[in-house]
Amino acid sequence: MLPVMKEKLVETIGALQQDSVAAFELLYKSYEARLFAFSYKLVQDKEEAAEVVQEVFIKLWEKRHFLDPEQNFDGYLFQIARNLVYNKARRRVYEFAFNKYLAEQEVYATATEDAMAFEEISRLLEEVYNTLPPVRKKVFMMSRIEGLSNSEIAAQLNTSSSNIENHINKAIKAIKEKFKTYEIIYVLLLLHAAQYATSASCQI
């Protein structure tokens, strides 16, 4: 279905703010295919891409009363999709690194104990990640989740490699500080999880 024209889009968003199911369905039909193509390009998995699209529209419905009809609606939806993909990628990286740690250390525990430990590690990592300044957060994500080199990140952000290295070092320092009471192997694995994620088919 063709994208909704600007005038019609403003009207449709206004109706959505008034809880119009018809407006929601119109937006879904207008954006579903493009959001799927965008998500699939990032995750390379049809089922996961479809899941991302569904979550985008769930969030859209949940936040319908706070929408600005004059905002860049396309950018808004695609940013939600991008954030969802990156969040899923981070979790896959955490899971892979944690399982790698258990295997290499020959740690034997119950499934419940493993799950509790993993959730705690993931929670702490997310806490640190969410406190990073926006640019540092983006740099760290591009480095550790997307697996880009410092020079590649510098080129995309139009800055120097040394500046990128500085951001990464400060992000790592923040994570190490958060994990100072944990075994360092956890941190090292999680910080370098991107290299493991490649072999685990974590594609971004």
Which of 165, 89, 168, 108 is closest to 136 using CA atoms? Answer: 168
Domain ranges of the chain: 6-71, 86-199
Instruction: Give the pTM.
Output: 0.52
- Each of the 204 residues of the chain gets a pLDDT tens digit; together they read 445 566 788 899 999 999 999 999 999 999 999 999 998 888 888 888 899 999 999 999 999 999 888 888 999 999 899 888 877 776 666 555 555 555 555 544 444 445 555 566 667 777 777 888 989 988 887 887 666 788 888 998 999 989 998 988 888 888 777 766 555 444 444 444 444 343 333 444
Q: Output the CA–CA distances (angstroms, integers) from residue 161 to 14, 83, 139, 194, in the order listed.
A: 45, 25, 11, 19
pLDDT of residue 179: 67
Tokens of 93: 């990286």
CATH architecture of 86-199: Orthogonal Bundle (1.10)
pLDDT of residue 131: 87
Q: What is the 3-state secondary structure (H, E, C) of the chain?
A: CCCCCHHHHHHHHHHHHCCCHHHHHHHHHHHHHHHHHHHHHHHCCHHHHHHHHHHHHHHHHHCHHHCCCCCCHHHHHHHHHHHHHHHHHHHHHHHHHHHHHHHHCCCCCCHHHHHHHHHHHHHHHHHHHHHCCHHHHHHHHHHHCCCCCHHHHHHHHCCCHHHHHHHHHHHHHHHHHHCCCCCHHHHHHHHCHHHHHHHCCCCC
